[in-house]
Amino acid sequence: MDMIRGEFVDIIEWLDDSRTTLAWRFPRYENEIKNGAELIVREGQQAVFVYRGQLADKYGPGHYTLTTENMPIMSTLQGWRHGFDSPFRSEVYFVNTRPVTDMRWGTPQPVTVRDPDFRMVQIRANGTAVVKVVDTEKFLKQVIGTDSVVDMDEITELLRSNVTTAFSDMVLASGLGAIDLQGRQVELSGRLREFVAQRVTGYGLDIDAVTMTISLPEEIQQAMTRGVARGVEAGGFMNNVDLNRYQQMQAADAMVVAAGNPGGGMGAAMQAGMGVVLGGQMANAMQGGLAPQQSAPAATQSSAPPPLPSQQSFHFDNGGQPAGPYTIEQLRQFVAGGQLSRETNVWTEGMPGWAAASTVAVLQTLFAAPPPLPGIPPPLPPTP
């Protein structure tokens, strides 16, 4: 019946009612097409003739009557000089050139990012991509092959692997930390599209747009939430001082959880005393000074004494390079060795900038002259 019907009329067209089919081969009885056949190519389509594995004529949207005049490549391949006799054999592929908007991607494994605040952080990303065929010849050779139908599902894994690799390269090229990546993910989506487009162009594809959502580890999100809630000052999010404060809060919370654990071996008195001590430590950590300690039960004071206050440390200018931090006792050794003098610039937390060591009150004792030994009179003043 197909052969008999083909003797009377031959209309080649593709009625596509889906948005995910990328290519479709027109079914013909023994691939025979008659002289004067009608070819209908709709908007968002492109028709490609293939003769014995060789690409022949291509047609964009329009209505065509297949004759020698509008089939120049096919005429050359089959040696038609003055027209052709019906029928002739050829494969006809329709390619969908409309954008496909529902391609989802995600990183199967986390990507490690060097972060200035949290050192090494593993992040994940996911989103969507808008894909379309821009070069039917490359797409036919690299993707379609001999398939009669090519659906979006067949190339989804190929695209996802390319997007994932492009995301890793983009993160490395940006040089941004995890917090900055999440804060600028809308801007970085455009850069990710460029990285992906470079990889899929060999398949005849293009990426019109990419959306991206970056996910941070749960512990990092908790750190951000807790830091804001407890008043931790943020530059990008945490500087080195703030990170120390966050670590103090982490240790304090762990001790509170241990105190509240019935199987942890702590009695009611220990729990109450620990709460008082932690309260003083938290106030000292958040305010940068010593908070007044409330009196604790005797059992608490004997079994869980508060930690010693941390010593103040300084950085100093060592030949144009910052050295430190060093405690005051360590700085005394540098003074004795001649590496630190009154004019050497120093800095510590809380100072607005570098200043000479002799102008810092707590360091002035480092340069004080020792008193004379007993029994030895002080030196006479110089003679005028």
DSSP conformation letters of 161-182? HHHHHHHHHHHHHHT--HHHHH
What pairing do the DSSP bridges indicate for beta strands 91-96 and 21-25?
antiparallel
Q: Where are the beta strands (DSSP E) in the chain?
A: 11-12, 21-25, 32-33, 38-41, 45-51, 54-59, 62-65, 88-89, 91-96, 100-106, 111-115, 119-133, 149-151, 205-210, 213-215, 313-318, 321-327, 345-347, 355-356
Length of the chain in terms of residues written: 384
Structure tokens belonging to residue 150: 């090519």
Structure tokens belonging to residue 197: 């487009």
Q: How far is CA 190 from CA 130, 177, 207, 276, in A?
A: 12, 18, 11, 52
Q: Which residues contact 55 (CB under 8 A, 6 or more apart)?
A: 48, 49, 73, 137, 140
Q: Are 185 and 212 in contact (CB under 8 A)?
A: yes
Q: Are 26 and 92 in contact (CB under 8 A)?
A: yes
What residue type is 268 in one-letter code?
Answer: A
Q: What does the alpha-carbon distance between residue 134 and residue 187 come to, in Å, rounded to a whole number? A: 25
What pairing do the DSSP bridges indicate for beta strands 45-51 and 313-318?
unpaired
Tell me which residue of 80, 105, 100 sits closest to 90, measured CA to CA.
Answer: 80
Confidence of residue 238 (pLDDT cuts 50, 70, 90): very low
Q: What does the alpha-carbon distance between residue 230 and residue 252 come to, in Å, rounded to a whole number? A: 13
| pLDDT (mean) for 69-85 | 72
Cβ atoms within 10 Å, residue 249? 20
Q: What is the pLDDT of residue 120?
A: 85
pLDDT in tens, 135-168: 999 999 889 887 889 988 888 888 999 999 999 9
| pLDDT (mean) for 40-67 | 90
pLDDT in tens, 307-345: 656 678 888 888 888 888 888 888 888 888 888 888 899
Q: What is the pLDDT of residue 154?
A: 85
Q: What is the pLDDT of residue 254?
A: 56
Q: What does the alpha-carbon distance between residue 175 and residue 264 come to, in Å, rounded to a whole number? A: 45
Give percent of the chain with pLDDT exceeding 90: 19
Tell me which residue of 147, 169, 155, 52 sits closest to 94, measured CA to CA.
Answer: 147
Structure tokens belonging to residue 123: 């992040």
